[in-house]
A = this chain, B = another copy of it.
Amino acid sequence: MTANIQPVILCGGGGTRLWPRSRRAKPKPFLPLLGERTLFQQAIDRVADPALFTAPIVVAGEVHVPLVREQGGKALSIIAEPTGRNTAPAIALAAHRAPEGSVLLICPSDHHIADEAAFRSAAEAAAGLAQQGYLVSFGIEAISPHTGYGYLRRGEELPGGYALEAFVEKPDLETAETFLADGRYSWNGGIFAFGRERFLEELATHRPEMARLCAEAVAGGEGDGQVFRPAEAPFAQIDGDSVDYAVMENTAKAAMVPVSMGWSDIGNWDALREARGGESTGEHELRDCTNVMVDSDGPRVSVVGMEDVIVVVDGDDILVTNARGAQGVGKLEGVSRP
């Protein structure tokens, strides 16, 4: 059964951890970090098949609307957020604007998915469960005891997936290792599917104030054909929250669809190096090096006699780090410069 899936592409996030390539003015989704298409374009491409998906709704900050138009084309339906209020309000805006009866597929635009066929199968399975009233999370196969992700614990089997027994906060390493050994745990990749009305009902139940302000912002909003702009005043009053906390962890009808699709959140330069298979880009010479990745937009980078190094050149900024240091890049003072 082919569902009428309405993709909702989320373009939030500052992406400071991939500085200096990622900058406030041009964050992660809008960069061609893997291949020639940007992550945002890849997110659009992924839901381009009209046999399975309707035309996506893109939710982005007002400041990034020009980038969305430039990269996504003029046919794209865009909701411009006047300010960032996290994922729950962003999805609520999209839900209000989506056709009645549709199944929403929530897709972050700053992740990488290598296996698109696996993504599509999971989307179909998730849509099937959503049509039965479930709020469905993609459960990304946990391939390492990662401490940077939330985990999902599956319960009884359902058609095409499982009941979702628990959302688990980011664990410490020891706990993550028991999760990996246990086998019932997946990573929470922030990809969800649910019926439009089910979501709005659940939001009204668990975050009534947020639901009210979102409805008000949409009612008072204005569209110019391509871009819809919710009313600024009510939206600004929202106490922002993630869809995980606001809805998914509270619903009584949580489900999950397990999926193994070569997923990476490209959370830092080490993750990007891995997703790229360690391949360097730009002019470079590596001599007597192991696990060294160069990414230069111009100058020639020569590395001699080193192990585990990442060198990034972007305009007048040069970053040198390694697997461990990559986690601290967002804390550099340089990141907050314009």
* Chain A interface (Cβ < 8 Å from any Cβ of B): 20, 285, 287-288, 296, 298-306, 309, 311, 313, 315-322, 324-329, 331-334
Contacts and interface: CB of A to CB of B under 8 A. Distances in A.
Contacts of A285: 332-334
A9 to B, nearest CB: 31
B320 A299 contact: no
A202 to B, nearest CB: 41
B321 A306 contact: yes
Copies of this chain, whole number: 2
Contacts of A318: 296, 299-302, 311, 313, 318
A117 to B, nearest CB: 37
Nearest to A309: B320
Contacts of A287: 325, 328, 331-332
Contacts of A319: 302-304
14 contacts: A287-B328, A298-B316, A300-B317, A302-B318, A302-B319, A302-B320, A303-B320, A303-B321, A304-B319, A306-B309, A306-B321, A309-B309, A313-B318, A320-B320
B288 A328 contact: yes
A332 B306 CA distance: 14
Given A328-B287, A328-B288, A299 B322 contact: no
Given A299-B313, A304-B328, A309-B309, 10 more contacts: A288-B325, A298-B316, A302-B318, A302-B320, A303-B320, A304-B329, A305-B326, A305-B327, A309-B320, A311-B320
B332 A300 contact: no
A305 B325 contact: yes
A114 B302 CA distance: 31
Contact of A305 (B298, B316, B321): B321
A321 B298 contact: no
A327 to B, nearest CB: 8
Contacts of A300: 316-318, 334
